[in-house]
Chain A
Amino acid sequence: MKRIAIIDGEQRRVLVERFEDSFVVEIDGKRIIAELIHANASIDTLRIGKGRQYAVVHQQSGERHAVFFPSSRVDLDLRDPLTLSRKGAGDDLGGDEKIVRAVMPGRVVRVEVSEGDEVERGKSLLVIEAMKMENTIEAPRRGTIISLHVEAGSTVDTGAELITIE
């Protein structure tokens, strides 16, 4: 299976196949023999090469993957090269999801953008209060604010639609 990995805007070619009881993964042509041992649904141990092991927790939402090591975290997108070329690779490396969703349940304290605003990636969009703390939700990508789905005072659950950006 061929994929393109995108990390901080940088692309790498990835090939992954089964190889006996393990896997062979090629990253930009570099071959790595790997085994992923599932302790349970998401807590894994990765064993690569001659036996080097990493404790990892893997989380996924569509093409977005987050891999957590005890003292590190790597966020990456894993795309099918066919869909990537169709969309015009590189235009929207911040992700192609148009809808910004709540990553935590809470109450919207204020909305800092209006419909029609042009925003850069990282621009503060709105502030959600949870656990007695205020949290800023930032634009995941550059674009135009098409619509606001919440207003100050709204209560939201995880995954709730907040803002549509195009």
Chain B
Amino acid sequence: MKVLIANRGEIAIRIIRACRELGYSTVAVYSEPDRKSLHVLHADEAIPIGPAPSSESYLNTQRILDAAKSTAADAIHPGYGFLAENADFAETCRNEGVVFIGPSVHAIRAMGSKTESRSLMASVGVPIVPGLTAPVETFDELSEFASANGYPVMLKANAGGGGKGMRIVRDGEELRKAYERVSSEASSFFGDPAVYAERAILSPRHIEVQVLGDQHGNLIHLGERECTLQRRHQKVIEECPSPVIDEATREHIGKIALKAAAAVSYDSAGTIELLRDEEGTFFFLEMNTRLQVEHPVTELATGIDLVKEQIRVALGETLSLRQEDVKLRGHAIECRIYAEDPYRNFAPSPGLIRNLMLPSGPGVRNDNGVYSGYSVPLHYDPMLSKLITFGVDRDEAIQRMKRALMEYRVDGIQTTIPFYLSMMDNDRFRAGEFDTGFIDRHLEELAQPKVTEEYVEAAIVVAAIRALEESEKVVLPDRSDSKWKNASRFEGVRGRL
């Protein structure tokens, strides 16, 4: 069995690892700037698929299928992002006799449209956020909904997802402008200007449920993930389990998730995203018909290898687990390490990683995609790696994360590590009390370097010693005393001796 991984970075490596453990060989694909990326170096075979822009490489279905054919790959794993939720690509793969490691084309399509999935969910009794279940045709239609519902309302792109193409509207005056804005964003990001509206849920928590199904009608859930901590609608810290979910609630949202997944006869690994309002009511938000970035926290808390399970069921195997086999134990936390400078308003920081020291020790997992000497390209997502820690309980997982972040050293580019360190010390975070707006509201304080007199003195000492060492360096003329050169000279004259 040979699997081609149509992705890059840490997730491609994660999938290569799962394939190796299953005894399968692997094919990496890469764009020009990714020639020396870590995922490429890990694979058994590597095929170039085009220049830097994703549209000409990682989103180029023809090149990827050609690579699969030229290497005689049996299956394609799309990872997350790129082609992972592209129903046409999944269909083409299957028509060409290549296994697409993901759910049925029908499930991808049904969950791909926000309004269609909302009406489907409502029809099977899954609670949805109150609002429209079809895109608005005119502004008047939207205005009518807003007046009837009352403000604030949430405008969303019908084809949206991943936190893009959404806007909260607080009063009637903002409505027209917001409508035009979301519609044009929807057009440019998703190629579909359709917009709909729903009630805005204030101070929500974002909690999602992992599901796993096979092609024989078996479907189970693997508990929840806490994904409330976001910056600009992008998740940054995830946990399993959630500090606000007890056993009864877990069973309740597990049932909601299974009902939602069963409505599309789901037969792979997938995630039902839910919003929890301040009263503790849950609403269906969307279904991600793919592997999730934050899947490792579920893996650590359940002991189940999600990627291997996903590959097995795609190959037609029956799920080896029953619902009663799934038990959450301990606590896992993930921090997404980005090449961004938290002290400079999270400006991207691509470039050469001169040195890298990854944390290790008990309960630490690195899903890492970079190395010392690697240059982070500016064409792609700035995520370098995911750092995940596991502990017997949430406190231990947090302390471990703090400890691991202190061991983590990167030189050459800036990363979000200092930001996560201050999060781990934050009282509200430690108490588990936060909503999706928490980080954006407290960003200034969370991204502030702790500059105390102690640090200033230590910094001066370091800089002064470095400057002295620099001044002592004497540049010697090249005396060609390299051992390699000497050895080759010796080889050269040996025959004449």
Contacts and interface: CB of A to CB of B under 8 A. Distances in A.
A131 interface: yes
B463 A67 contact: yes
Contacts of B351: 104-105, 158
Contacts, number: 153
A5 B380 CA distance: 39
B409 A57 contact: yes
B462 A46 contact: yes
A55 B409 contact: yes
A54 B468 CA distance: 19
B345 to A, nearest CB: 8
Interface residues of B, number: 49
A42 B460 contact: no
A84 B471 CA distance: 18
* Best-buried of A57, A69, A76 by chain B (most CB within 10 Å): A69
Interface in A7-33: 7, 12, 14, 16-18, 23, 25, 27, 30, 32
Contact of B411 (A23, A57, A158): A57
Contacts of A56: 458-459, 462
Contacts of B451: 72-74
A82 interface: no
A66 B42 CA distance: 34
B1 interface: no
Nearest to A71: B421
Contacts of B421: 70-71
B461 A46 contact: yes
Contacts of B471: 1
A154 interface: no
B339 interface: yes
B460 A12 contact: yes
A18 B459 CA distance: 18
Interface string B435-472: 00000000000000111100111111111111110010
* Best-buried of A44, A60, A104 by chain B (most CB within 10 Å): A104
B347 A76 contact: no
Contacts of B340: 133
Contact of A36 (B355, B449, B456, B466): B466
Given A74-B456, A135-B347, A57 B410 contact: yes
Contacts of B135: none
A30 B458 CA distance: 12
Interface string A37-76: 0011111101010000011111110000101111111101
Contact of A41 (B354, B458, B461): B354
A30 to B, nearest CB: 8
B348 A71 contact: no
B406 interface: yes
B41 interface: no
Given A67-B462, A104-B349, A135-B347, 6 more contacts: A25-B460, A42-B354, A72-B418, A104-B351, A105-B351, A131-B382
In the A-B complex, the 3 residue pairs with the closest CB atoms: A74-B459, A131-B348, A67-B459
Interface of A: 1, 3, 5, 7, 12, 14, 16-18, 23, 25, 27, 30, 32, 34, 36, 39-44, 46, 48, 54-60, 65, 67-74, 76, 78, 104-106, 130-131, 133, 135, 158
Interface of B: 339-340, 343-344, 346-351, 354-355, 357, 378-382, 405-412, 417-418, 421-422, 449-452, 455-468, 471
